[in-house]
Structure 1
Amino acid sequence: MVHEAAQGAAVNTPGGSCASGGVHAGSILIGKTLLPALLVCLGIVVLYPLVWMVLNGFKDNALIFGQPFALPTHWNWGNYVQAWNQGVRDYLTVSILVTATSGLCTVLISAWTAYGLTRSRMPLKPLATGLVLGGLMLSPTVALIPLVKMLQALGLYNTYWALIVLYTAFRVPFATFLIRAWMLDLPRDLDEAASMDGATEGQIFWRIILPLCRPIIISCVILHVLFAWNEYLFAMIFTSGADMQTLPVGLTSIMARHGTNYAVVFAAMSLSALPMVGVFFAAQRYFIRGLAEGIGK
């Protein structure tokens, strides 16, 4: 009886192993099939509204309301030309100026602050770190009235510098948090070797530490660009002239002027979104790498 049971177990074991192996292979096959399908569906969900908006910029109101999901019967580039000439060009210039300047200031200040918080021997460093990162808890809407008074007193109200200063001040804590997390994992042997070779603190920062932080720097730049490009509250409150309006506020003005001409509105929205799409796709490799490695450290 024992011998027969042993033989039965010996016979059933390979079959059970094959069955479990077949289930495992089947689950792998299903995973390989479902994952690409899920990614394709996600890509369609993300890209379709953008493509629909761009295509509607070539239509007229009758086609937009009659066949909103159909392709344009003729490609009317006049809507894009009209949107460009009636404000998008000026709004785009202001947005590029404010975004580029504030992004440069934010990255430089944050990188130098993170360098001081991670590489220097300053006293009360934990307290300084807490004060800098405590800026993440400050809500912009709470500080609106004091900021208006302060910028009016400084003569910066309704100028480019009002938005540049505000965007920089409110993004420095978050950018410092990311860059500091990256710098903490950099070996200090690099600093010591550079100091033994006679390098100053500034040379160590600019020539050694900053190049090594390039992925997280690019990630911070992209995050800041996305924030400054789409920011509406500060741009609406601290600028009042048409020549000072950024794209979000300018698009509101275009919608007020051309509220019945939806094709021009869609064309203006497409032109405003195009630079951000190009920037993200051009730098997505560094963006994903910087966030994945920087936050995980």
Structure 2
Amino acid sequence: MSTQVITTIHDKRKRPIEHAWNAPVYLVLAIYAVLIAYPLIWMLMSSFKTSAEIYGDPWGLPETWLVQNYADAWERGISSYFLNSVIVTIVTAIGTVLLAALCAYGMVRITSKAANIVLILAMGGLVVAPQVSLIPLYQMLDALGLLDSLWAMILPYVAFRLPMAILLIRSVFLGIPHDLVDAATIDGCRSLGVFRHVYLPLSRSILMTAGVLTAYFAWNEFLFAIVFVNSDENRTIPAGLMSFRDALSTDWGVLLAGLVIAALPIVVVFIALQKYFVAGITAGSVKG
């Protein structure tokens, strides 16, 4: 009993020291949070200003909160750009996660050199920069008749996000106990049944993580969207916002309102799915 009391007193004495050592870490994190949040807050405030106010008083609050900037941005094309971005992002995320999960499942279940070859190819895909393949991709899409369409963005996005998604999902699949697989097989599940009823439910966090990372990439990607798509009706938000800039004058309030509309969905997705995101990243870093 006395030993427990002494231990408790010793722990209480250590807590102030630990808090003192953690104070610089918290300070650095607080400064980093301010550096990240301030540009977003400035963009949000400036989206309610006129261009004259932005130039005259860039750091102050708006004299009149111009909600009309958002209406103007929506009417000038953000509505169609937004819909295209939603379609491209959803199809890309679902396609990438589904293909990566099937590929990772095959790599885990097949014990042969073929699985190792696929793993090496997936790792090699991580070092290929999108800019390097720009011309070959353009020629390939042109030959397939897919230029200036949503598929001209979806297919390259899926291809470039597959390697990372495969490695993340595979790392979690490796940790699934074989006893569960044997039990499902005894119950009558075939290969796809094991994949559906065992692997997918136990890997929900990493699947959500791969989906969020893919959605973030597809929503903000600019290079392929501006090169492979020429028509205004097929552009996504990053490429479409370029039309808001004029050679002589730019309505910065409307442009910033468009940027807020573009940033809002992905911020909401991250906030809503952050527990899955953190759990998935943690799970994906344990096994290799």
Query: What TM-score do the two structures reach when normalised by structure 1?
Result: 0.88
Q: How does 1:199-278 map to 2 (within 5 A)?
A: 199-256=189-246, 259-278=249-268
Counterpart amino acid of residue 70 in structure 1: G
2:284 equivalent to 1:294 = yes
Counterpart-to-counterpart distance in 1, 2:278 and 2:247: 40
Alignment gaps of 5+ in structure 1: 1-19
Quick one: which amino acid aligns to residue 223 of structure 2?
L
* Equivalent of 2:170 in 163, 180, 190: 180
Residue of structure 2 in register with 1:5 after alignment:
none
Greater mean deviation of Cα atoms: 213-222 or 57-66? 57-66
Deviation at 1:132, TM superposition (A): 2.9
Q: Distance in 1 between matches of 2:245 and 2:16?
A: 54
The residue aligned with 1:81 is 71
Of residues 34, 39, 59, the one that matches 1:69 is 59
1:119 Cα deviation from its structure 2 partner: 1.7
Q: Which moved more, 1:257-266 or 1:152-161?
A: 257-266
Post-superposition offset of 1:152: 1.1
Q: Structure 1 CA distance, aligned partners of 2:214 and 2:247?
A: 30
Aligned position for 1:17: none
- In structure 1, how many angstroms separate the alpha carbons of the residues matched to 2:148 and 2:277? 33
Q: Residue 76 of structure 1 aligns to which amino acid in structure 2?
A: L
CA displacement 1:253-285 (0-9 Å, x = unmatched) = 112378431111111111110111101101111
- Sequence identity, in percent? 38
Preserved contact between residue 110 and residue 176 of structure 1 (Cα < 8 Å): yes
What code does the residue aligned with 1:171 have? R
Contact 1:258 1:264 in 2 (8 A): no
Q: Is the 8 A contact 1:87 1:254 kept in 2?
A: no
CA distance, structure 2, for counterparts of residue 110 and residue 79 of structure 1: 41
- The Cα RMSD (Å) is 2.0
Q: Distance in 2 between matches of 1:174 and 1:96?
A: 22
- Taking structure 1 as reference, are residues 78 and 21 closer, same or farther at Cα in structure 2, changes over 3 Å only? closer
* Structure 1 equivalent of residue 120 of structure 2: 130
**Pairs within 5 Å for 1:13-92:** 27-92=17-82
Q: Partner of 1:158 in structure 2?
A: 148
Is 1:196 matched with 2:190?
Answer: no
Distance 1:205 1:172 in 2: 18
Query: In the TM superposition, what is the alpha-carbon distance from 1:72 to its structure 2 partner?
Result: 1.2
Give 1:33 deviation, angstroms: 3.7
Return the offset for 1:129.
Answer: 1.9
Take 2:194 and 2:247, find their aligned partners in 1: how far apart are those partners? 54
Deviation at 1:37, TM superposition (A): 3.5
Shift of 1:32: 4.4
Three-state SS of the structure 2 residue aligned to 1:139 is coil
Q: Deviations over 1:143-188 (max 9, x none)?
A: 2211111111111111111111111111111100100011111111
Q: 1:28 Cα deviation (Å)?
A: 1.7
In structure 2, distance between residues paired with 1:21 and 1:210: 43
Distance 1:112 1:59 in 2: 49
Count, aligned residues: 278
More helix per residue = 1
Q: Is the CA contact 2:106–2:115 (under 8 Å) kept in the aligned structure 1? A: no
What CA distance in whole angstroms lies between the structure 1 residues aligned with 2:285 and 2:249?
43
* Larger CA Rg, structure 1 vs 2: 1
What amino acid is the match of 2:71?
V
Separation in 2, partners of 1:249, 1:266? 14
Deviations 1:125-153 (A, max 9, x none): 21232123322222222222111111111
SS in 2 for 1:94: helix
The question of 1:281 aligning with 2:276 is answered no
* Contact 2:122–2:164 (8 Å) recurs in 1: no
2:7 aligned partner: none
2:214 alignment partner AA: H
For 1:108, the equivalent position in structure 2 comes to: 98
Q: Distance in 2 between matches of 1:21 and 1:281?
A: 35
* 1:87 to partner: Cα distance: 1.1
Instruction: State the 1:93 CA deviation.
Output: 0.6
